[in-house]
A and B are shown apart, each in its own frame.
Chain A
Amino acid sequence: EDQVTQSPEALRLQEGESSSLNCSYTVSGLRGLFWYRQDPGKGPEFLFTLYSAGEEKEKERLKATLTKKESFLHITAPKPEDSATYLCAVQASSSASKIIFGSGTRLSIRP
């Protein structure tokens, strides 16, 4: 069965303290892996799409990487405004056009 697991569930960092969020997936044929950021009471905001192992994408303080089994979202020198829930989602060949979301990582950055 296709599955997406995110860890840790919650992460508290000091401003400027770099870290990584993990997204492990078990799917039959990855068609795409997506990272979103969600603020409380709002819809998810698109960050990155990764399609194949070895691919990397960067945006400001965020960098997403992909292997055959997992993806990492690296956050460098975070600021308080980076506090949010970060969601990972995958689309698998076996699931046609269905997309499966992980449960998210709640990131809190203290000033």
Chain B
Amino acid sequence: KAGVTQTPRYLIKTRGQQVTLSCSPISGHRSVSWYQQTPGQGLQFLFEYFSETQRNKGNFPGRFSGRQFSNSRSEMNVSTLELGDSALYLCASSLGGLPETQYFGPGTRLLVL
């Protein structure tokens, strides 16, 4: 069974630009969660989508948004990029959402210059 895939794996952007990251969950999984990982803050929850609906949201500004499609694939968008948005962005999928076990993808490394 294929694992969680994320594209692109690496991305370099400049301040003020916007970026869209993609996540394909494990087949059959309906929940996708997004996380930001930085050396200073560790792993922080962004939001969770289940059956195309945002179910929960972490404490991030409105510049961070997401959506989920009918095939459970999910995208995350960050508008007006700031230097502090440089991070590893991880998505995780699970069958029905937390507290079920989540399986993580390899992440997208975003560098904002």
Q: Real complex partners, A and B?
A: yes
Q: Chain B interface secondary structure, helix, strand, loop or mixed?
A: strand
Taking the nearest CB of chain B, how far is it from the CB of A111, in angstroms? 27
CB nearest to B50 among chain A residues: A97
Question: Chain A, 45-74, contact with B by CB distance < 8 Å: what is the 0/1 string?
Answer: 110010100000000000000000000000
Hey, which chain A residues are within 8 Å of B35, CB to CB?
101
Report A-chain residues with C-beta under 8 Å of the C-beta of B105: 43
Q: What are the residues of chain B within 8 A of A43 when measuring CB–CB?
A: 4, 90, 92, 104-107
Q: Does residue B15 face the partner (Cβ distance < 8 Å to A)? A: no
A-B contact pairs, 22 of them (CB 8 A): A31-B99, A32-B99, A36-B104, A42-B106, A43-B104, A44-B104, A45-B104, A46-B101, A46-B104, A49-B99, A49-B101, A87-B43, A91-B99, A96-B55, A96-B56, A97-B97, A98-B98, A99-B45, A99-B98, A101-B44, A103-B42, A104-B42
Residues of B within 8 A of A (CB): 4, 33, 35, 42-45, 48, 55-56, 58, 90, 92, 97-99, 101-107, 109
